[in-house]
């Protein structure tokens, strides 16, 4: 029962902080006024994708956290989460598209390292990050494209 409660805490924490940051730093008028590539998804899609990804991220972190040190990757999980949470304030809040590229690249590298590190000990934790890495890769291309079209 304690493991289940811990899982719920992980899911609520990751989704709660992610939602709070998303609501605090919305795309807004500034982003709407930018030139965007043809593959820029509609805004509502982010509200669908991120909660799902945050559940998967939480499950992966929970599995590593509750493995009693048997599954490495806790530092990588924390690092990618901190950078993930930093992206919206930098991109939307500070309107620093260039620095946001470096942040998302850092999230992507740490997420790939997490997959590599957890793969042999906990494939489910690693698999939880595969859709996340796919989305991060798309988001990196989008971020770079928006920056390029507006410099």
pLDDT-based confidence at residue 30 (cuts at 50, 70, 90): very high
How high is the mean pLDDT of the chain?
96
Please report, for the chain, the start and end positions of each structural domain, with discontinuous segments joined by +. Answer: 2-149
pLDDT-based confidence at residue 35 (cuts at 50, 70, 90): very high
Reading phi first (left if > 0) and then psi (alpha if -120 to 50, else beta), residue 34 is in beta
Q: What CATH number was assigned to the domain covering residues 2-149?
A: 1.20.1260.100
Q: What is the pLDDT of residue 128?
A: 98
Statement: residue 69 has pLDDT above 90: no
| Strand intervals (E) in the chain | none
Q: How far apart are CA 147 and CA 134, in angstroms?
A: 20
* Owner of token pair 């599954």: 71
Helix (H) or strand (E) holding 150: none
Q: What is the pLDDT of residue 113?
A: 98
pLDDT-based confidence at residue 71 (cuts at 50, 70, 90): confident
- If you count DSSP H runs as helices and E runs as strands, how many of each does the chain have, helices first? 7, 0
Which residue, among 79, 76, 59, has the nearest Cα to 12 in the 3D structure? 59
Question: The pTM is what?
Answer: 0.95
* Owner of token pair 């902080």: 17
């Amino acid at each position: 029962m304690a493991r289940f409660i811990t899982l719920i805490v992980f899911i609520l924490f990751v989704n709660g902080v992610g939602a709070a940051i998303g609501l605090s730093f919305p795309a807004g008028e500034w982003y709407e006024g930018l030139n965007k590539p043809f593959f820029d998804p509609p805004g509502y899609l982010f509200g669908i994708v991120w909660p799902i990804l945050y559940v998967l991220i939480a499950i992966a972190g929970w599995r590593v956290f509750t493995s009693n040190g048997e599954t490495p990757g806790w530092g990588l999980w924390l690092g990618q989460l901190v950078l993930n949470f930093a992206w919206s304030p930098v991109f939307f809040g500070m309107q620093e598209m260039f620095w946001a590229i470096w942040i998302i690249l850092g999230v992507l590298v740490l997420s790939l390292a997490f997959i590599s590190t957890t793969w042999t000990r906990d494939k489910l934790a690693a698999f939880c990050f595969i859709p996340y890495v796919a989305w991060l890769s798309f988001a990196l291309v989008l971020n770079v494209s928006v920056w390029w079209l507006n410099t």
